[in-house]
Structure 1
Amino acid sequence: MEGTERRMVFVTVGTTCFDALVKAVESVEVKEALLQRGYTHLLIQMGRGTYMPSRVSSNSTLQVDYFTFSPSIADYIREASLVISHAGSGSIFETLQLGKPLIVVVNEDLMDNHQSELAEELADRKHLFCARPQTLQETVEAMDLNTLLPYTPGDAKQVVTLINKFFGFPFD
């Protein structure tokens, strides 16, 4: 691996249990797709999951590691060349604000899954790619990072001004 640029994929499930994502990203097919795209390392934040990933890769060129929780995942996101995340809004917006390419994997086991609506809307706006555990391989193989558009947070000033006006507070 000497002379090879480190290109890390960071996978996060947040504080949840999302074993289906961990199993999908650890599959031989997804790891092979990541290798084909030039990624060298896979770091999995597995949360409350019970499925334990293997640190041994069937293909020795992909370095795999994992952990359960961290006080902050910002440093891992900053270091990542690609982030694969559950559909939690905190993880999504933290990744987008750091300008990292993102694949959001929707947990279909959640009831009343409003997270999928957020992920699909942001995918429609070309800020990220959206997948399911069973389509992750195809998403990695087909993704074109050049098609992603930077995410710019909205300006809340107009809303604040309206609220202040409504309540009779001074406003600019």
Structure 2
Amino acid sequence: MKTFQLTGTPRTELGKKAAKTLRKGNMIPAVLYGGEKELTFQVPNEAVRSLIYTPEIFVVELTVDGTTTHAIIKEIQFHPVSDNILHIDFLEVSENKPVVMDVPIVLEGHAEGVKAGGKLSQEMRKLKVKAIYTQIPEKLVVNIDHLGLGKTMQVGSLSFEGLELLNAKNAVVCAVKLTRAARGAAAKAN
């Protein structure tokens, strides 16, 4: 997993009024959970843009007041109308405590069903996994070469070393759907 460097400054004032003032100054209020105590701090809006608006996942090397910790983004709150970032929650990670993250899925290969005239449909873009943060890959590669026409690939049929998949076992990751042309060809063959 890639590492992202982020520097924040401690917050002295808490509450709605202080948070509103921070946002007007182009800063984002943030909290770090998971350590001995909660840490409230602020980060510049421009500093987190390339961390948030990307499909990739990162371990954040967070430096606040000279202390550096490793963390992941747990939750981001957006404004409902303007879509500006209102608040970020970080979770401190360690070598001995597993974390839960959404990891992007990448489909690899050419499905047999697509060669037969079907259309590939990716139903899930990310899988929720639980593991030690150092074992979580940047992406999960799923081979679809054996996927036939009208067939689906479910979460229960996938397994990755060192990772526990938390999605429902019957959730569909991808499917090869029948097209009108494939139905017509099948009807003519019979």
User: Normalising by structure 1, what TM-score?
Assistant: 0.21
Name the larger-Rg structure.
2
Which has a greater percent of strand?
Answer: 2
